[in-house]
Structure 1
Amino acid sequence: ELVQHTNPYYRSSYALVVRSGEFDDVTRLDDPKLKGKSIGVIGGTPPVNRMGELGLIASMKAYAPYQLDPSRKYQTVSAEVIGDLAEKTIDAAILWGPAAGWLAKQSGVAMKVVPLLQEPDRPALTFRIAMGVRMEENDWKRSLNTILRKRRADIEKVLRDYDVPLLEDEGNKLLEPAAP
């Protein structure tokens, strides 16, 4: 361990992103409707392993995780995937939920973001997010944990404003919004 981590401040999952009206009822990667479809995914990410188990690799469009081409059209690889989905270059996409939610919202095309909550535990498609703190800085870690606890509602509001799929701390269930 190079760092110690704070308490997690949110939990999210990879998500299937589709154009609204297409594949609307698909909630799992093993749905037969996805067979043979061009699905965009960033190479080397956990969903690629799951797609391999399901025989979806042949029609998958893998995007290089790190592109150093300064002339590329999009700022991030995730934005490129969503751009291709909007332009109908691919049929669906699988992205990390926080990127998927915001980019789908900004795409200018009606899209549906479906957190992948019904997949097997391996490979993991859900993750807790925390901050890394140097090993010898225990006071700083305690300070950050206090701030995270006190500002939990503010953090959740920002994440919801950016359409981040939020999960409950345990299990694969979407976190319900806090009552006003």
Structure 2
Amino acid sequence: MKWAAGLLCLAVAVCAGLEGARADSLRVCADPNNLPFSDSQEHGFENKLAQLVARELGKSVSYVWWAQRRGFVRNTLKAGACDVIIGVPAHYDLVETTRPYYRSSYVFVSRADRDISVSSLEDPRLRALKIGVHLIGDDGMNTPPAHALGELGVVENVVGFALYGDYRQDSPPARLIEAVAKGDVDVAAAWGPLAGYAALHSAVPLRVTPITETRRFALLKFSFAIAMGVRKGDEALKRQLDDVLQRKGDEIAALLASFGVPSVREPAD
């Protein structure tokens, strides 16, 4: 019986240690290969934001790494493996969301030396340009610019790039912006944070212009408020995160700007 009692004591000690480690750590669900948002070297702005939040909460940061594709929330946050996703759309129904900490939009990206000053999807010049867009899958779930161009009948000159791409490469979504720099496409319609970061680091100067005049496509959203996500019902952590996001708003805005994240105002009703 002594050995049984010993094992029980060991199990209790291990469990207590695990609970203590969890209490001292902000457990973050993140993609290890998705700059500028996050990577395993913690170089992304979501990594930097996680460090800022953890510091304010008196905790360290630990990660559960998982490719941010279908099943990401189910296999990380909902599985109880981690406690917070640093970037999700505000009011995302799979999680409990904090107050938004930035709003960005889809943008056009072109080489600066081409002087392609396009901001509207209805600009007639787009019909004569090779346009790159991200494609999410073959089930009709594609990005708003891809849908809008299809509605306009701009199809033959559109080149699709898989959003998820080849995960063996660094940050697969970046292939779209690289195609602009190489001249493989004339202009790309991309999510602003990805485009802004790529423009900062591109050897070829790039122009990033928010997509405007989107009211015709009323069912499509082109700008999104971004928040943090916690498990449904985890009100305590949500309140803590909300407090940090409110107090550190200026510092967070400066961090995002240093990564080239385009910021847009909330659209008027």
Q: Output the TM-score relative to the length of structure 2.
A: 0.59
Question: Is the contact between residue 78 and residue 95 of structure 1 (CA under 8 Å) also seen in structure 2?
Answer: no
Q: Identity percentage over the alignment?
A: 35
Q: TM-score, length-normalised on structure 1?
A: 0.87
Other structure's SS at 1:90 match: coil
Aligned 8 A contact 1:36 1:56 in 2: no
> Which moves more between the two structures, 88-97 or 119-128?
119-128
Instruction: Return 5+ residue gaps in structure 1 as ranges.
Output: 173-180
Residue-by-residue CA offset, 1:16-66 (whole Å, 9 max, x unaligned)? 001114344321111111113111111121211111112222111101122
* Alpha-carbon shift at residue 77 of structure 1 (Å): 3.2
Question: 1:146-157, aligned counterparts within 5 Å?
Answer: 146-157=243-254
| CA distance in 1: counterparts of 2:143 and 2:183, whole angstroms | 22
The answer for the alignment partner of 2:144 in structure 1 is 46
Rounded to whole Å, the distance in 2 between the matches of 1:53 and 1:59 is 14
* Structure of higher RCO (CA pairs closer than 8 Å, 6+ residues apart): 1
Q: Is the 8 A contact 1:42 1:77 kept in 2?
A: no
Please report how far the alpha carbon of residue 2 of structure 1 lies from its aligned counterpart in structure 2 after TM superposition. Answer: 3.1
Aligned to 1:16: 108
1:62-101 CA deviation, whole Å, 9 max, x = no partner? 011222363x5xx223321111111111110011000000
**Whole-Å separation in 2 of the counterparts to 1:105 and 1:118:** 26
Q: Rg: which structure is higher?
A: 2
What letter matches 1:102 in structure 2? Y
Structure 1 partner of 2:3: none
1:141 is displaced (CA, Å) by: 0.6
CA distance in 1, matches of 2:238, 2:210: 30
- Give the Cα separation in 2 of the matches to 1:157 and 1:147: 15
- Give matches, 1:24-173, under 5 Å: 24-43=116-135, 44-68=142-166, 70=168, 72=169, 75-120=170-215, 121-171=218-268
Paired amino acid for 2:261: V
Code of the aligned partner of 1:11? R
- Look up the SS of the partner of 2:244 in the other structure: helix
Report runs of 4+ in structure 1 exceeding 3 Å deviation: 169-172
Q: Which runs of 5+ in 2 are unaligned?
A: 1-92, 136-141
Tell me the secondary structure at the aligned position of residue 114 of structure 2.
coil
Taking a change above 3 Å as real, the CA distance of residues 69 and 161 of structure 1, as seen in their structure-2 partners, is closer
Q: Kindly provide the amino acid, as one letter, of the partner of residue 77 in structure 1.
A: P
Q: Distance in 1 between matches of 2:104 and 2:265?
A: 9
Stretch moving more, 20-29 or 152-161: 20-29
